[in-house]
Amino acid sequence: MGMTKKEATTIMSLLETAFVMNFPEDDLKAKLWIEQLTKYGEYEGTLLKAKQHISRSKFKPTISEILKIQPKKAESVTVPEKETHVYKMKHDSEYASQYRKLKERWEQLKREWAEEDE
């Protein structure tokens, strides 16, 4: 969830005080900032970036310069036990045999590469 409108207006008020962003006079601009901040912004991170911008720049910020985007939340995926490597090694002889062959081949390649380096 993005930041609230109250949090967005807190950030915008801070920027208005520091840079005269003209939010009160430009309704469309204010609506755009509120939309972007509430939809994509993370409050604490955006507030920090706004304060840093105030202390480091004499120019008005763009939305992208102060917006701290919320990280996307990953969905957890449960792999069925029968599809796991450990299960297949115990219960699928063909899988286990193929795995051992590949592992042996890998070890052989590593030895060959080590000899080439010497």
**Which pLDDT band, with edges at 50, 70 and 90, does 42 fall under?**
very high
Please state whether the predicted TM-score (pTM) of the whole model is above 0.85.
no
> What is the rounded distance in angstroms from the CA atom of residue 82 to the CA atom of residue 66?
48
pLDDT the model gives residue 77 = 85
pLDDT, tens digit, 9 for 90 and up, residues 10-30: 999 999 999 999 999 999 999
> What is the rounded distance in angstroms from the CA atom of residue 98 to the CA atom of residue 20?
68
- Domain boundary assignment for the chain: 5-66, 81-117
Q: How far apart are the first and last CA of the chain?
A: 57
pLDDT the model gives residue 117 = 76
**Which tokens go with 57?**
């720049």
> What is the rounded distance in angstroms from the CA atom of residue 29 to the CA atom of residue 112?
65
> What is the rounded distance in angstroms from the CA atom of residue 81 to the CA atom of residue 88?
9
Please answer whether residues 76 and 40 qualify as being in contact, where contact means their C-beta atoms are separated by less than 8 angstroms: no
DSSP bridge partners of 41: 69
